[in-house]
Amino acid sequence: MPSIVPRVPGLCYGGDYNPEQWPESVWREDVALMREARVNLVTVGVFGWAWLEPEEQRYEFGRLDRILDLLHDGGIRVDLATATASPPPWFSTAYPLSLPVDADGRRLRHGSRQAICASSPDYLAAALRLVEQLATRYRDHPALAMWHVNNEYGCHNARCYCDTSAAAFRTWLQRRYGDLDGLNDAWTTSFWSQRYTAWEQVLPPLPTPATGNPTQALDFRRFSSDAQLAMFVAERDLLHALSPGVPVTTNLMAGLHTDQDYWNWAREMTGPDLLISNDHYVLGEDDIPPAAQIAYAADLTRSLSGGSPWLLMEHSPSAVNWQRRNLAKPGGRMILDSLGHVARGSDGAMFFQWRASRGGSEKWHSAMVPHAGTDSSVWRDVVALGTGLAALAEIDGSTVTPTVAILLDYASCWAQEGESQPSVDMDAFAEVRRWHHALWRAGIVADFARPEADLSAYRLVVVPSLYLIGDAGAANLGAYAAEGGHVLVGAYSGIVDECDRVRLGGYPGALRDLLGVRVEEFFPLAAGRSVALAGGSPLGAYGLVWAEFGRATTATVVTTFADGPTAGSPALTVNTVGAGGRAWYLGTRLAPDPLVSLLSTVAASAGAEPVLPDRPDGVEAVRRTRPDGSAYLFVLNHSDVDATVRAAGTDLLTGAVWTDSGVVSAGGAVVLREAR
Ligand code: GLA
């Protein structure tokens, strides 16, 4: 199988390279240092628009020619950016309507980046002109390995509320609902006299005196994600037409940003001459530890890639600059972070950025070449990582195949994030992260899937929070269980249809029969309160955030609520379905430790095992395999003590042979080629 970037055999290593920030005299040193660190791929010119097109349609490619030649002479391949992420000031001055407008009606200005309305025809035309120039000039350049479209779509401009966007929103709605009757029905405009009688009355969800229409808000989020995606598709199609055979990607932010429906993006980013790439930055002050944050992003990206290898396009060598407190990584941590992504399917490790900027708003962001230069711990780690990734070349193309899937649906989370919900504490994306973290702590590697996906490869499907579900998704989950699959569903799932209309007859609506439970009324808890669970509960003593009043219809009750208005109602149930299927339902939320025990118990009963059942605390294990039987076991020690691990094979990083066990040093990693 060819590498994901066929012109870069083995694993990709490098980062964003912004030569326009430096005099040409620095470029030679850059290339020499890249060679020293065994860098084989750099992303050139992500923010180079003003450099390449200093005035409208006057292009200056001399410097880009020279840097690409220099990189080529150094044996370094190029992920060439289309440079469309940050239009220059001349552009927004000439086309002020291309600037985005926020929900309060303020038009944002240039002087930063991504000052773009996603529906602007002027922006699209200018961007495609630049792409055409770049594609025709560089498609045959020997350094070119792939195309990098734009940058982190929607990072700063996910939704635009200008008149152009409003018109595009109406067109999108016309396509979705056909006519105004369809729209009025879908949006329940019979409520509060909101009935529309002409399309021009339909607006983005602008500020209103009272709570707005929830389906209008939800559809605007769907539309806004589609509008961003359309910009990518336009560039992608032009590149495929002008530069056939060269892979195209754009860097997603799976695991950090939640404004794009990345399942829809994945559809447009997989297939011939396409690859999924992702950026990830650790949140220094978060309830979930860095290694588990990385695992979440990597598992999600791999799932977007349909299980195939993907590319970590950006992460940070040490601190970032955009958090409130930007925590630096201690020596060695960067290597472990990179391997965390590689373990979960990335065929490389790329960084933002190559050389630390002297000025500009990211001057306090770490880089592979720090301000201190090469006499630095960061640089020594950069060189060590380059050596390590070269030693791992043979894992290129191997895959991770979990037996557990976590259902994630963006529109469902968006709907649940809307106004006037039963409890502000019932967060959706955060609950998905908590369940993933609990599985991570249990040593179980999981994929993510959308509700309509083929689930047949999994022994267990968990559904942390799926407020909105379409009929097809609900039927799919039911069929999966009927065929013997195991399901664990969290509270407040299956509640509304795709238009955010309640499914009547008792909660959890679409999943009521599957779960064998009928809930009459929700009893969310007051801030900071908990609800007692019946004695000896496998869930621990308390439920958090949520309780509900109902009964089991066909399910067996495992645990009930033990106090308050829902005392006696089921808190955990299990229903037997079809040919050995089981459908568990948790009608509350759990603290981290009981959630780990519940998921471990349910996974064990489904036959979904941890990768290494007897791992020491703080040790992460993931296996990559290939159809020919090769297997590579990544063992990452996140603890601060050396860990003895039972496993056998040859460590690709050091050559050490483990016959039945070995020691992974504190903060260290091994990658064992296991015997076939
Ligand atoms: C994102 C962007 C980069 C840079 C980094 C900083 O990933 O793509 O250009 O701003 O964030 O962490």
Instruction: Read off the pLDDT of residues 500-511 as tens digits, 9 standing for 90 and up.
Output: 999 999 999 999
- Amino acid 535: pLDDT: 82
Locate the ligand 1 atom nearest the alpha carbon of residue 279 and give its number.
7
Determine the average pLDDT of the residues in 91-119. Answer: 97
Span from the CA of 277 to the centroid of ligand 1 (angstroms): 14
Condensed to tens digits (0 to 9), the pLDDT of residues 76-88 reads: 999 999 999 999 9
Span from the CA of 225 to the centroid of ligand 1 (angstroms): 20
CA-to-CA distance for 230 and 240, rounded, in angstroms? 15
- Amino acid 397: pLDDT: 95
**pLDDT grade, residue 75 (50/70/90)?**
very high
Cα–Cα distances (Å) from 546 to 31, 360, 488, in that order, read 57, 46, 17
Q: Structure pTM?
A: 0.98
Locate the ligand 1 atom nearest the alpha carbon of residue 251 and give its number.
8
Residues sharing a CB contact under 8 Å with residue 117, sequence separation 6 or more, in sequence order: 97, 98, 99, 100, 101, 123, 157, 160, 162, 164, 165
Cα–Cα distances (Å) from 619 to 152, 281, 401, 639, in that order, read 32, 21, 20, 7
Determine the average pLDDT of the residues in 154-179. Answer: 98
Determine the average pLDDT of the residues in 359-378. Answer: 98
Determine the average pLDDT of the residues in 414-428. Answer: 97
Locate the ligand 1 atom nearest the alpha carbon of residue 47 and give its number.
9
Tokens of 490: 């969290």
DSSP state of 193: G
Site to probe by mutation for ligand 1, drawn from 278, 314, 365 as the one with most ligand atoms within 8 Å of Cβ, is 314
53 given a catalytic annotation = no
Condensed to tens digits (0 to 9), the pLDDT of residues 36-58 reads: 999 999 999 999 999 999 999 99
Phi (first) and psi of residue 242, to 5 degrees: -90, -20
Dump strand ranges (E) for 227-273: 248-249, 251-252
Span from the CA of 319 to the centroid of ligand 1 (angstroms): 12
- Amino acid 537: pLDDT: 77
- Amino acid 563: pLDDT: 95
Contact assessment for residue 411 and residue 220, using Cβ atoms and an 8 Å cutoff = no
Contact assessment for residue 573 and residue 534, using Cβ atoms and an 8 Å cutoff = no
- Integer-rounded Cα Rg, in Å, for the chain is 26
Task: Work out the percent of the chain whose per-residue pLDDT is above 70.
Answer: 100
**pLDDT grade, residue 1 (50/70/90)?**
confident
Helix (H, G, I), strand (E, B) or coil at 62: helix
24 given a catalytic annotation = no
CA-to-CA distance for 391 and 395, rounded, in angstroms? 9
Locate the ligand 1 atom nearest the alpha carbon of residue 253 and give its number.
7
CA-to-CA distance for 478 and 500, rounded, in angstroms? 21
Beta bridge partners of 13: 349
Residues sharing a CB contact under 8 Å with residue 272, sequence separation 6 or more, in sequence order: none
From 53, 235, 314, 431, the catalytic residue? 314
Look at strands 581-586 and 251-252 and give their pairing. unpaired
CA-to-CA distance for 350 and 197, rounded, in angstroms? 52
Q: How many helices (H) and strands (E) does the chain have?
A: 17, 27
Tokens of 609: 């095992």
Look at strands 486-489 and 517-522 and give their pairing. unpaired
CA-to-CA distance for 464 and 458, rounded, in angstroms? 16
Locate the ligand 1 atom nearest the alpha carbon of residue 151 and give its number.
8
- Amino acid 547: pLDDT: 98
Site to probe by mutation for ligand 1, drawn from 20, 46, 152 as the one with most ligand atoms within 8 Å of Cβ, is 152
Beta bridge partners of 575: 583
- Amino acid 676: pLDDT: 78
CA-to-CA distance for 593 and 601, rounded, in angstroms? 12
Phi (first) and psi of residue 438, to 5 degrees: -65, -40
Look at strands 251-252 and 277-279 and give their pairing. parallel
Q: Which residues of 239-255 are buried (b: 16+ CB within 10 A; e: fewer)?
A: bbeebeebbbbbbbbbb
Q: What is the DSSP string of 324-362?
A: SS-PPPPTTHHHHHHHHHHHTTEEEEEES-SB--SSSTT
**pLDDT grade, residue 326 (50/70/90)?**
very high
From 53, 152, 417, 498, the catalytic residue? 152
- Amino acid 661: pLDDT: 97
- Amino acid 407: pLDDT: 98
- Between 163-177 and 214-242, two packed helices, what is the crossing angle to 10 degrees? 100
**Cα maximum dimension of the chain:** 76
Helix (H, G, I), strand (E, B) or coil at 486: strand
Condensed to tens digits (0 to 9), the pLDDT of residues 8-35 reads: 999 999 999 999 999 999 999 999 999 9
- Amino acid 2: pLDDT: 78
Q: Is the pLDDT of residue 539 over 90?
A: no
Burial of 641 (0-12, 13-18, 19+ CB in 10 A): exposed
Helix (H, G, I), strand (E, B) or coil at 131: helix
Cα–Cα distances (Å) from 120 to 168, 325, 386, 466, in that order, read 9, 36, 42, 34
Angle at 508 between CA 506 and CA 514, to 5 degrees: 110
Contact assessment for residue 53 and residue 115, using Cβ atoms and an 8 Å cutoff = no
Span from the CA of 253 to the centroid of ligand 1 (angstroms): 10
- Amino acid 277: pLDDT: 98
Site to probe by mutation for ligand 1, drawn from 282, 362, 368 as the one with most ligand atoms within 8 Å of Cβ, is 362
Span from the CA of 365 to the centroid of ligand 1 (angstroms): 9
Kindly report the average pLDDT of the chain as a whole number: 97
Determine the average pLDDT of the residues in 588-592. Answer: 97
Sign of CA dihedral 417, 423, 427, 431: negative
Q: Is the pLDDT of residue 538 over 80?
A: no
Q: Is the pLDDT of residue 536 over 80?
A: no
- Amino acid 365: pLDDT: 98
How far out from the chain centre does Cα 659 lie? 37
Span from the CA of 352 to the centroid of ligand 1 (angstroms): 6
Determine the average pLDDT of the residues in 414-420. Answer: 97
- Give the closest residue to 132 by CA, choosing from 242, 248, 50: 242
Site to probe by mutation for ligand 1, drawn from 279, 315, 323 as the one with most ligand atoms within 8 Å of Cβ, is 279
Measured from CB, residues less than 6 Å from any atom of ligand 1 are 151-152, 279, 281, 314, 316, 320, 352, 362, 365
